[in-house]
A and B are shown apart, each in its own frame.
Chain A
């Protein structure tokens, strides 16, 4: 099997498992929507503030809660499964890429639904032609966050407090994604260039992809 065949197959299996027993759409998404409800209530009665903060809250919650998706238990979470993969000669980089593919797909769905919920609940003031740039930002953020989360998940595999520790690792490093994503919309509203923010997101995604592929073999050995 070629590299991409392996990666796609791993992604397929992962998505199939998620569909059967997964918790992304069943737990993480509802949890994030609850968080969306918490913010305006905590902010008090100033409704104009709610509209203004809508986009910011969307990205903050999307990223903080979204990283849980990358930390989900996947097909190869058990050492026996990993042993099987290495026995079959699966390229560790293909495994990383495969997991990122499935994770990104789930993350995109998550963010899209969350976006819808934000628009409905917050009635944010959205500038002209916001849809395409926001979708681009959303896709790029999903990819980057999945890459980060996958790396963090592997590095914390089998540890106590794994989810919290992995989240601690991801959160500070996800700053470029937060900034790139939210600034895409803001600069659209202020009529300054959005290209630089999208380039920032692309650069982050590429850097993480390179790191993930380069570190795939030590990662595989590390997460036994």
Chain B
């Protein structure tokens, strides 16, 4: 099942990167609202 682990890990890393980008955006937006 290590194949599936790698696949899930790949998906997770990619979406984590995208979520990370979105989170940075959110922080930037919050900073500007003040």
A and B touch in the complex (CB under 8 A): no
Residues of A bordering B, CB below 8 Å: none
